[in-house]
Amino acid sequence: MRRAPFGSIGLAWVLAFLATARERAWAGDESQAEFFESRVRPVLATRCFECHGEKKQKGGLRLDSSQAMRAGGDTGPAIVADDPTHSPLIEAIRHEGAVKMPPRGKLEAAEIDALTEWVKRGAPWPAAEGPVRPQAASPGQAISEADRDFWAFRPVRDVPPPAVSRAGWPKSSVDPFILAKLEEKGLQPSPPADKRTLLRRASFDLIGLPPTPEEVESFVRDESPEAFARVVERLLASPHYGERWGRHWLDVARYGEDQAHSFQPRLYPNGFRYRDWVADALNRDMPYDRFILEQVAGDLLDEPGRIERLAALGFFALGPVYYGDPKKFDQVDDRIDTMARGFLGLTVACARCHDHKYDPIPTSDYYSLAGVFLSTEYEEAPAAPERQVRAYDAAQAAIDGKARQIEALLRSCSANARAAESVRYLVAALELRAVRSGEGRPTSRDVAKREGLESGRLDRWASLLERSKDQPRVAELLRAAGPAAGKADDESKRAVAHAAEAFRKHVEAVLASQDAGRPVDAADGTLVGALFDGKGPLALNKDRVEKDLPPEARARLVSLRSEEARLRQEAPPKYPVVHTLKDAAKPADASVLVRGNPATPGPKVPRHFLSILGGSTPFASGSGRLELARAIASPDNPLTARVMVNRIWHHHFGRGLVRTTSNFGNLGERPSHPELLDLLARRFIDGGWSMKALHREILLSATYQQASRADARAEEVDPENVLLSRMNRRRLEVEAWRDAVLAVSGRLDPEIGGPSRSLDDPGNRRRTCYAAVSRHDLAALLRLFDFPDPNITGAERTRTTVPLQGLVVLNDELLVDGALALAARVRASAADDDARIRAAYALLFGRPATDQERRIGRDYLAAPEPEGATPGGLSRWDRYAQALLATNEFVFID
């Protein structure tokens, strides 16, 4: 590794130090109440309340309320908030102390992790907070008119624009709604951003890459009123658009290529096909309702293109698999949660153990959806035409057949070469078996020494005879030799030898049949395996067998290997495989699990959509996935369009019109501009669900094109800029930042699609969206810079700022190598340092360097190295380039 000028620090230390800060930062990703209801309450209800609840309190301890936990039982409080290490409850569930809970068996690892994380978060218990719904005694609840009148469940309206005073400011249908709210508060929108800032903003927003200096200058010179519209069209037409916005969707889809556990994990080596499907669908501007259909039930659509659609099912198929979940209830819960949050903005998984405490989602609705996913199976399927699959399989069968012929030839020659020896060993082994009991019994070593045999090989023959109950052919040998074995007279010995010889000939006949490609019965196939495989008595080093082959057999072996090599050379390549889904052979409804406990199943519920969204009709076809997909994607569904419009708005402004982008329920925030949200949702549906059209509507608005500087009045009235009197300054996500470093240093590989590649690979210059995403061992760079947890659906990235990120900027090879390449690039672009500094600023910031910036740069580059300096082999230009890459201006967009 190249040494950076500022020293280095061990990555392991960095990660260990960062862990606590990261965990606390992640805690803000989702509502504490959502975390408690979906992850914690189910464990307490199913595992703890029976002995420590309202009816029974072993050891004086109740665990069914926050107050009871903190009060504790006979031995004191059960938890220490924020400190799982010193919480008796956590020690007990880990079975680390004298008290072990539950006493009948340890909790699953995921359950222990959930309770530990909950205590680490301060053990919030939100049961008494918010608009808690009355709970029904049965696993179901009535949907009231008040429920239906909640803003998110009302039909999407076609809203007229409000009247505004500054009638000349709006540029698109978005602007009157923003301006009206501003004028209500006595605020004014900010002036337009300058063209360089606007281009950089749009370029990162739409394709995740900085504009080139040539693109910046071309836009600056273009005085046409349509100049920015043309920029937006160019960016939307770029194949890099799908890479950028596909990554946003992959956050929602909790995309990963393995499992968080290391014991027999399911791996997804072809997971990239789903990632590429998403990017391609967005590049083609696939209508969003179709985007939903193909990801939920693309395999069930009765129309051409099924093979191409199979990759879309990766939305579910690439999800986490929970160790210790044989009935797949946790896996189903993950799919319900990802589907409901992702498409509907609802926390349906909170109804797993009880009716949802805040939203009109009864437990029966949860298990109606669980029936859909319990009737669905994971599959690794060919993503190729059937003729291609048949051709490959036939070629591989021919190769395997030739390999079997080679193996049979070697085994046959091995047996023939040792035929006499085999009979001698068999006779000795039969003798050992006949006298295996009684005093004076000879050992295998005694018999081997007497007969001139190898004792180890004799033991293998004896072991084979001992396993005769599993070997019908060996049992026949024992029956034939049984009456004479162990007797001392010559006639008996001859009888035994005759049985052994007959056995040898039978084995040779079986080998001859295999060599000729003729079928043998199962008993003989098992026998051959027992003789020649592993520790079988005739197992022999193949090299030794080949060395002793007779000429005829050697010629035959050469011929077979030549044919095998030809077959391998002529074989077609392996067809692509996708991780996908299929309907179970016998779809079935699920039972409501009382308190979410598999041991207490209740009544079965028919598969149907959510009741609050009109899902009273049972699904009638297969698993019900196709009907579910159509219900989600229906233009009459009031949530689907709103949720996606809000996600797109969130990524353009850094904050959604509904801040809680995956929770439109009672615990989520209310929309800041509900009429605007409905207007955009209505246009989204009526315009054919085009995401690119929605981008145009937003980017061509005066709201989007504002500068990011706030005046004092706006900061006082609206400090969080909810009303959007200015554009929000935003920090680049780790992917866009890494890609920008590669781009400005001239090292970015622009190749589109294909298998993932590890970020630990020093030669990896591909875009970060093509990085391997591991749930078990996420790449250090991603983990340090707020990449989302791929185990759960997420749509809002945490933004942490810690000193350790600065250490990466100073020491990581990405930045050091980027600085070297950037320095070399700008030095080659001009003959003097002043011109080179201007080139560097144009590349990194899309603007000219100021006089002061040029003077500072020239002074630094011209200064001599201090005596005793150890710059780590980097020149002043290299260090200057690294300093520019480390600036806030490079990592933030205005």
Q: How far apart are CA 835 and CA 535, in angstroms?
A: 75
Query: Is the Cβ–Cβ distance between 703 and 178 less than 8 Å?
Result: yes
pLDDT band at 417; cut points 50, 70, 90: low
Above 70 in pLDDT, residue 15?
Answer: no
- Dihedral in degrees, nearest 10, Cα atoms 149, 150, 154, 158: 110
Q: What is the mean pLDDT of the chain?
A: 88
Q: Report the percent of the chain where pLDDT is more than 90.
A: 61
Q: What is the pLDDT of residue 415?
A: 67
Work out whether the CA dihedral 462, 463, 466, 467 comes out positive or negative: negative
Above 80 in pLDDT, residue 28?
Answer: no
Q: Where are the domains of the chain?
A: 1-28+798-894, 29-128, 390-570
Q: How far apart are CA 523 and CA 727, in angstroms?
A: 77
Least confident of 88-92, 345-349, 356-360, 527-531: 527-531
- Residue with more model confidence, 156 or 427: 156
- Residue with more model confidence, 821 or 799: 821
Query: Is the Cβ–Cβ distance between 181 and 671 less than 8 Å?
Result: no
Which helix H or strand E contains 232, and what residues bound it?
helix 227-237
Q: How far apart are CA 439 and CA 186, in angstroms?
A: 109
- In one-letter notation, the amino acid at residue 264 is Q
Above 70 in pLDDT, residue 18?
Answer: no
Above 70 in pLDDT, residue 347?
Answer: yes
pLDDT band at 128; cut points 50, 70, 90: very low
Closest to 629 measured CA to CA, from 361, 362, 376, 280: 376
pLDDT band at 437; cut points 50, 70, 90: low
Q: How far apart are CA 796 and CA 31, in angstroms?
A: 12
pLDDT band at 467; cut points 50, 70, 90: confident
Work out the average pLDDT over 839-845: 97
pLDDT band at 364; cut points 50, 70, 90: very high
pLDDT in tens, 540-556: 666 777 877 888 888 99
Q: Report the percent of the chain where pLDDT is more than 70.
A: 92
Q: What is the pLDDT of residue 337?
A: 96
Q: How many helices and strands (H and E) does the chain possess?
A: 41, 6
Q: Where are the beta strands (DSSP E) in 374-459?
A: 376-382
Q: What is the pLDDT of residue 828?
A: 96
Above 80 in pLDDT, residue 236?
Answer: yes
- Dihedral in degrees, nearest 10, Cα atoms 146, 147, 149, 150: 120
Q: What is the pLDDT of residue 540?
A: 65
Q: What is the pLDDT of residue 366?
A: 97
pLDDT in tens, 60-112: 888 878 788 888 787 788 888 888 888 888 888 888 877 888 887 788 777 88
Above 80 in pLDDT, residue 444?
Answer: yes
Q: What is the pLDDT of residue 455?
A: 87
Provide φ and ψ at 584, rounded to 5°: -65, 155
Residues 6 or more apart in contact with residue 713 via CB below 8 angstroms: 186, 187
DSSP string, 1-13: -PPPTT----HHH
pLDDT in tens, 370-416: 999 999 999 999 999 999 999 999 999 999 999 988 888 887 777 66
Q: What is the pLDDT of residue 134?
A: 54
pLDDT in tens, 351-362: 999 999 899 999
Find the radius of gyration of the CA atoms of the chain: 35
Above 90 in pLDDT, residue 151?
Answer: yes
Q: How far apart are CA 322 and CA 340, in angstroms?
A: 20
Above 50 in pLDDT, residue 798?
Answer: yes
Q: What is the pLDDT of residue 464?
A: 86
- Residue with more model confidence, 159 or 78: 159
Helix axes 175-184, 674-686, angle to 10 degrees: 180
pLDDT in tens, 683-721: 999 999 999 999 999 999 999 999 999 899 999 999 999
- Residue with more model confidence, 543 or 147: 147
DSSP string, 749-773: B---S-S-B-TT-TT--B-GGGB--
Q: What is the pLDDT of residue 517?
A: 73
CA 383 to chain centre: 20
Which helix H or strand E contains 579, and what residues bound it?
strand 577-583
Q: How far apart are CA 440 and CA 447, in angstroms?
A: 13
